[in-house]
Amino acid sequence: MRLADERAASGLGRKLAALLEPRDVITLSGPLSAGKTTLVRGMLEALGHKGEVPSPSFALVQPYEALKPPVWHVDLYRIKNMSELDELGLEDIREDGVLIVEWPEHAGPDAWPEALALSLEVAEDGSRALTAKVPASWEGRWPPR
């Protein structure tokens, strides 16, 4: 899938928001400034979040518990040791909500095999190429319409 600009990335996020179910995991991979947080902002705005959506690079986990379903936006860029990941309690969070994870590769190759795994790459023309690994739980929901 090709995303022409930030508006398109945000629009895809809005479409994804309508498809979210409790216990869903979406992982977002790609280089810095590829549009991962822009896509998340679109999702959160569509779910009713008003206000800023900061990148959770320093906080690691940014909760949006008032949304339906509740969303936890996670950025694992600074994770260096798997024990740090255990301390975040991400599996407990998933019981009722949605987990959106940027930089999932920092959690290892076996983390979240059930996730809708999205990867963004910046093309020479500035657009974004999005690829998706779609698990069984997302069949019929992906691609969003």
Per-position pLDDT tens, the chain of length 145: 999 998 999 999 999 999 999 999 999 999 988 999 999 999 999 999 998 887 777 678 899 999 999 999 999 988 887 777 778 878 777 778 999 999 999 888 888 999 999 999 999 999 999 999 999 999 999 999 8
Tokens in use for 114? 């059930």
Residues 6+ apart with CB under 8 A from 25: 94, 98, 99, 100, 101, 112, 114, 115, 116
CB-side neighbour CA atoms (13 Å) of 125: 7
CB neighbour burial string for 121-134, b if at least 16 within 10 angstroms, e if fewer: eeeeeebbebeeee
